[in-house]
Structure 1
């Protein structure tokens, strides 16, 4: 049930009637017509822009269209008032029975209420985290992991066929640096004193890896040239780091469907195939790029290179894919990786990058556009930095990591649920302050607590109802007389529940899971408002002397907790049944 979609369908069918009656001309497009909550709740329950959208193509005054549409809509039993505002906006008020029916729909559909068919089973690949396998995940990766995972869950809930993917950056020079760093820890495990040169990884997290390498090969690599051990240690170290990364992700409740190795692209013809595809489309040529204005990008050379004509697909400049010495640029394997995604048959691609990858967006979109001939859209979401605070001061250091705060540091201090919810309380491209004290506060200013407290209050009501002998199973609540829910505070909560399917669709269309967190905070506010009104208005309390009345009110509370559970499920947060 999507009440906003239902009323929009009513508006469109009414407009069809006005066309059939000759009031409106044939051939009008209705795609831009919306039905949504008004900006000011005092104006009504829903608002439509139909008259404003149709006025120009119909060559009519918007007010005239709005007046006629209002009169027709008023004939529907669900509409109690249709008022024209300003030049032609139309505000609608719905009957109490409509909102009461929403409660029944939530109880009937359970956590499937709001689950949509926007995706229509289309296959979407969401790639996120994709950190270099050179150490534990840090707090920046944490935000990308939470955002990507919640986005994947949101799209699944909206009807897409979602694949969660991690791209292992194990093909570059940083993995050789990792191998050399592990080798130093290996020597250390053999009792040797070592010094870490600048550019290596001195974090304590490699101590255990060095010991594990010693256990595996004993002294086989002692005093041996790098050419003897580098490849083996690189593979060993990468595997060990990926085990650590998987454990970090699991602590946050993140599970990937696919781990894709960059190294698998080299020496297998995959990079060559992708570049050949672009070449066949006339998009690869030999040339010299113009010197860039301002700061030179790292991939610019003042000599002839093999270039991808990315400007033909919206980029600012063409991009090199092969250097003058015949080696691939760092962009080439990324092209091949996305070519592989296209070849795997995905209908949509989403990449979640850190904020420092902003300059990579246009070239990657150009590549996917060219490889798929515009058939596969790529959306790149950038996650901004996270600032950590503790005891009023910025928190920057992790002894284990050496230079940064790890994902595990955060989860160990506040838990996975708090971490995930807080990471979604800002839009992905906005800076986020994470205060270890504030995220654990029990106050309205802490959205995690505020939402969980609403859920816990519902379960408190259910426990007290059981103690009083009031049946609260779903089958009983579905038979409750919902017409007893007639107070404005009760109807306001039901109205907020009705927004859930629309919110899921809106958030999924824009790839913005933070909208779910915002909605849950507002829903919790309406529930707490109703609860608090009960302190002054006894008939609003969920438990009444009459069991039947109690059941109707508990039905509303149960509907609220069902939607809260659905929303928290998308965010990857477990609903709390009691606060400790």
Structure 2
């Protein structure tokens, strides 16, 4: 509804500008400043003051004089406040919001017809997912949800590094060492089982005598060469290790949740000839040079050359990724890649090389993030290997469970929740707290995850927002027991004029803005905008809940307020879904 109102305001403003012989251009339509009482404001008078030869407040007054809102369903009036042109919403706008927001699909935008691939996580399959990299699947999954909600047809890809030296070392180690010589796995999970071989292999290469290392390196090199030469037996050896570790990693990622439509392997582009074709085309470029026993691209905007082929004829990760990206450009209209900030230079060089090869790099978007840190001493590490994602999620659920049990004791309502309810809420709140705390920050900013903040039921956190959804469910359940069933709440036969208090209008307005938040966050690839919206939403709903009783002696008013609560429930549930955070029905 807000998008429709904005479109009507834009049309009315453009007509007024044309009538005054002023350029349209940027209309400056935005949310009003906090001290401005309006649903939408335009700051266009600032831009036009010089051209009009008048002060911004005078230009705004001229525009208001020229604007006619009579033909627009959702505009009730327009006025100035200093330099701003302020638009007010009609009753039809509020009625439409109440109707739209009770639909389960509320906030979804019209299909764009655009096919998009979002590649995220893509951690090397050398062991369990580490906490420091947890931001990638959380941001990536949220971006994919946003783009899908905004109308794109989205595929989620994990790009698997199965052709590099690390996987050759892993395969050699798995085939070389006996399980009896390894420590017990930290968990009964495939990735924890196999990572022991990888660690033992690296220890051996660092500590063994020179002749043993030379023999090992010869075997490792033969694996890498076998992959490059298309040796099917070598592929199968490496694939056995890669797929087993990936299976364990997928289990961990699914807890977030972060699911994938396809795991695209590097070796695919070696085996189908794409890498050979790419190398041949790269060698023909004017920027291609053979220096220091390797083929390289001398990219003009970078101090360091991009190496794409070793002297022994083996390709590099970046070479295979170039072939991968050309494949993505053939399959999709747009490609989004989520990367750690340490990959920024590599991504820039890759884009430059793709451009030289004649690709439209406007199809490519890279989203960079800083890593997640943990406060010193807050979580234990095992054998100096750091903190795994599984550790973080287990502790999140346990801490959430403790919080739920404390709150049960405080309210003396132990019989309200079963053991199964407690487990469900602990999982929803605990994992939701981790995900929300991470996704709510701008990706470029480094963050330190802190339990007290993430699990604070009273502050701007996942539990604080989740509790709003649970409260809406509780209100509607109570209403149903009082005879106001879904057929009443969802009928649409309510009078929005009855919702005339500041708290009710504020809640309606924040509900109405949800589709615009989806549009903006998807366009900017910034899911933290949705998190910011959910905090504002929670504060606005809580103000309504404190000041306005929903079940009253006035039947018409009760039904209007129940429609408002139902609209709030749908809106916050969909906003939380975009963030990958569950919306509990009770807490």
TM-score range, shorter chain: 0.7 to 0.9
Match 2:134 to one of 118, 135, 142 = 142
C-alpha separation in 2, matches of 1:154 and 1:123: 14
Contact 1:111 1:565 in 2 (8 A): no
Deviates more, 1:135-144 or 1:485-494: 135-144
Matched, 1:286 2:289: yes
Displacement of 1:548 in angstroms is: 2.5
Matched, 1:10 2:9: yes
Q: 1:54 to 1:211 in 2, by over 3 A?
A: closer
Contact 1:182 1:233 in 2 (8 A): no
The answer for the alignment partner of 1:240 in structure 2 is: 244
Contact 1:124 1:349 in 2 (8 A): yes
What is the SS of the residue equivalent to 1:340?
helix
Where do residues 365-514 of structure 1 align in structure 2 (5 Å cutoff)?
365-371=351-357, 373-374=359-360, 376-389=362-375, 393-395=376-378, 397-399=380-382, 403-414=385-396, 415=427, 416-443=431-458, 445-473=459-487, 476-514=490-528
| 1:233-281 Cα shifts (integer Å, max 9, x gaps) | 533221210111121122222211110111222354211222344556x
The answer for the alignment partner of 1:357 in structure 2 is: 343
Q: 1:394 to 1:350 in 2, by over 3 A?
A: farther
C-alpha separation in 2, matches of 1:382 and 1:14: 38
The answer for the alignment partner of 2:159 in structure 1 is: 167
Q: 1:273 to 1:202 in 2, by over 3 A?
A: farther
What is the SS of the residue equivalent to 1:515?
helix
Q: 1:160 to 1:502 in 2, by over 3 A?
A: same
The answer for the alignment partner of 2:202 in structure 1 is: none
Displacement of 1:176 in angstroms is: 2.2
The answer for the alignment partner of 1:83 in structure 2 is: 79
| 1:27-66 Cα shifts (integer Å, max 9, x gaps) | x453x22422123243532111333345566777655542
| 1:101-157 Cα shifts (integer Å, max 9, x gaps) | 3222212xx13222124x722121111000111101111232111110010010011
What is the SS of the residue equivalent to 1:260?
strand
Match 2:582 to one of 552, 561, 574 = 574
Q: 1:256 to 1:513 in 2, by over 3 A?
A: same
Match 1:528 to one of 542, 560, 563 = 542
| 1:275-325 Cα shifts (integer Å, max 9, x gaps) | 344556x4542255xxxxxxxxxxxxxx375333543xx656552322455
Displacement of 1:99 in angstroms is: 3.0
Match 1:266 to one of 270, 279, 284 = 270
Contact 1:275 1:284 in 2 (8 A): no
Unaligned runs of 5+ in 2: 198-214, 224-233, 397-426
What is the SS of the residue equivalent to 1:112?
coil
Contact 1:342 1:371 in 2 (8 A): no
C-alpha separation in 2, matches of 1:576 and 1:482: 28
What is the SS of the residue equivalent to 2:101?
helix
The answer for the alignment partner of 1:562 in structure 2 is: 570
Higher helix share: 2
| 1:187-238 Cα shifts (integer Å, max 9, x gaps) | 134xxx4699xxxx999966744999xxxxxxxxxxxx97599746533221
The answer for the alignment partner of 2:21 in structure 1 is: 24
Alignment RMSD: 3.3
Contact 2:16 2:67 in 1 (8 A): no
What is the SS of the residue equivalent to 2:336?
strand
What is the SS of the residue equivalent to 1:577?
coil
Q: 1:369 to 1:9 in 2, by over 3 A?
A: farther
Matched, 1:116 2:122: no
C-alpha separation in 1, matches of 2:394 and 2:309: 44
Displacement of 1:440 in angstroms is: 2.8
Q: TM-score, normalised by structure 1?
A: 0.81
What is the SS of the residue equivalent to 2:374?
strand
Q: 1:14 to 1:519 in 2, by over 3 A?
A: closer
Displacement of 1:418 in angstroms is: 2.7
C-alpha separation in 1, matches of 2:529 and 2:363: 22
| 1:69-102 Cα shifts (integer Å, max 9, x gaps) | 212336437545533345x432233345533432
C-alpha separation in 2, matches of 1:194 and 1:542: 63
C-alpha separation in 2, matches of 1:204 and 1:104: 50
C-alpha separation in 2, matches of 1:134 and 1:141: 13
Q: 1:454 to 1:41 in 2, by over 3 A?
A: farther
What is the SS of the residue equivalent to 2:574?
helix
Contact 1:182 1:209 in 2 (8 A): yes
Contact 2:69 2:78 in 1 (8 A): no
C-alpha separation in 1, matches of 2:449 and 2:290: 48
Displacement of 1:373 in angstroms is: 3.4
What is the SS of the residue equivalent to 1:111?
coil
Q: 1:449 to 1:507 in 2, by over 3 A?
A: same
Contact 2:40 2:87 in 1 (8 A): yes
Number of aligned residue pairs: give it. Answer: 522
Contact 2:131 2:372 in 1 (8 A): yes
What is the SS of the residue equivalent to 1:480?
coil
Matched, 1:35 2:54: no
